[in-house]
């Protein structure tokens, strides 16, 4: 009997944690202490009670995406709101990484170590953005937000191939395209700290999208599927948001999209 704590159970506990700071600490501890946990890929864990996942604070209030107002970064309130949107994305990204660890059984050990690392890096991103938000006199929860990233995480809960295709390499990959224009807005607004934080996020998100690409291709190979041909079938089946060019080609290539994949994505968009 292995007396080390179970990594995947610990990831589920962190996912259920409601306090963002505590969740971040637990995600970081899982990564830093990875070797001090027992990894049991075959373990089947029961889904927690409905409404438990993900653990989150009472605020922000979640609304439909179209109900989240567009804000100008050229006012203090608008700049804080834009940073809040980034913080919300990073908080949800912690959750989706932890969810991949506990939910998907029978994956290679590298799958779990990859997603634990992603969870820790997303926690670091959330902390950077929240700290800057607080320096502006606001905090996470002060503005409304939408739940698009987690909704797709829920839709793909039964299939690791769909999850890898439609969360990291679709929704998170959109962040690779959005980051440079957002940085330019903050630069024009005179917020150098926000620009620097987005540099860190963009650098790491390239790696996170690459993780999604690698495990999507691995799952396709296991099932004898062509990754390029199968992707539009998944986007239709799961009603994934339509891609919106222009793409950040340099970042997407660094994130292990192939030229053929990018051409197919352009045609699909």
For 34-46, write each residue's pLDDT tens digit. Answer: 999 999 999 999 9
Write down the pLDDT at residue 50. 81
∠ CA 258-261-262, rounded to 5°: 90
Phi, psi of 49 (to 5 degrees): -55, 150
Over the stretch 140-198, which tens digit does the pLDDT of each residue have? 999 999 988 899 999 999 999 999 999 999 999 999 999 999 999 999 999 999 999 99
Question: Tokens 């899982």 label which residue?
Answer: 30
Q: Does 56 score more than 50 pLDDT?
A: yes
Q: Does 4 score more than 90 pLDDT?
A: no
- CATH 1.20.1260 for the 7-39+55-268 domain, yes or no: yes
Q: Does 1 score more than 70 pLDDT?
A: no
Share of the chain above pLDDT 90, in %: 86
DSSP for 141-208 reads TSS-B--HHHHHHHHTTT-HHHHHHHIIIIIIHHHHHHHHHHHHHHHHTT-HHHHHHHHHHHHHHHHH
Nearest Cα residue to 261 out of 221, 236, 219, 230? 230
Entry pTM: 0.95
Phi, psi of 60 (to 5 degrees): -80, 155
Nearest Cα residue to 111 out of 150, 149, 160? 160
The average confidence (pLDDT) of the chain is 94
| Interhelix angle 76-103/192-223, nearest 10 degrees | 30
Is the CB of residue 91 less than 8 Å from the CB of residue 144?
Answer: no
Q: What three-state secondary structure class fits 137?
A: coil
Over the stretch 57-82, which tens digit does the pLDDT of each residue have? 999 999 988 878 777 888 999 999 99
Write down the pLDDT at residue 159. 97
Rounded CA-CA distance 112/116 in Å is: 6
Nearest Cα residue to 100 out of 212, 238, 246? 212
∠ CA 41-156-130, rounded to 5°: 90
Is the CB of residue 241 less than 8 Å from the CB of residue 148?
Answer: yes
Rounded CA-CA distance 133/193 in Å is: 11
Over the stretch 99-141, which tens digit does the pLDDT of each residue have? 999 999 999 999 999 999 999 999 999 999 999 999 999 999 9
Write down the pLDDT at residue 138. 97
Question: Tokens 């926000």 label which residue?
Answer: 194
Q: How confident is the model at residue 49 (pLDDT cuts 50, 70, 90)?
A: confident
Over the stretch 214-247, which tens digit does the pLDDT of each residue have? 999 999 999 999 999 999 999 999 999 888 889 9
């Amino acid at each position: 009997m292995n007396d080390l704590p179970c990594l995947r159970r610990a990831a589920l506990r962190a996912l259920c944690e409601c306090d963002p700071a505590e969740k971040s600490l637990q995600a970081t501890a899982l990564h830093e202490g990875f070797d001090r946990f027992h990894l049991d890929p075959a373990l089947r864990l029961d889904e927690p009670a409905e409404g438990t996942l993900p653990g989150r604070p009472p605020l922000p209030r979640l609304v439909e995406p179209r109900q989240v107002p567009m804000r100008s970064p050229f006012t203090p309130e608008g700049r804080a709101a834009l940073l809040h949107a980034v913080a919300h994305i990073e908080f949800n990204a912690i959750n989706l990484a932890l969810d991949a660890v506990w939910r998907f059984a029978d994956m290679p050990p590298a799958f779990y170590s990859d997603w634990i690392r992603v969870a820790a890096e997303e926690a670091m991103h959330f902390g950077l953005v929240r700290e800057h938000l607080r320096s502006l006199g606001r905090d996470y929860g002060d503005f409304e937000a939408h739940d698009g990233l987690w909704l797709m995480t829920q839709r793909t809960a039964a299939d690791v191939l769909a999850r890898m295709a439609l969360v990291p390499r679709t929704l998170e990959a959109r962040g690779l395209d959005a980051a440079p224009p957002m940085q330019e807005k903050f630069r024009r607004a005179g917020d150098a700290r926000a620009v620097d934080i987005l540099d860190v996020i963009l650098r790491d998100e390239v790696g996170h999208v690459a993780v999604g690409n690698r495990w999507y291709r691995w799952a396709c190979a296991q099932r004898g599927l062509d990754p390029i041909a199968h992707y539009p079938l998944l986007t239709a089946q799961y009603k994934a948001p339509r891609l919106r060019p222009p793409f950040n080609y340099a970042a997407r290539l660094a994130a292990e999209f192939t030229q053929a994949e990018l051409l197919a994505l352009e045609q699909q968009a």
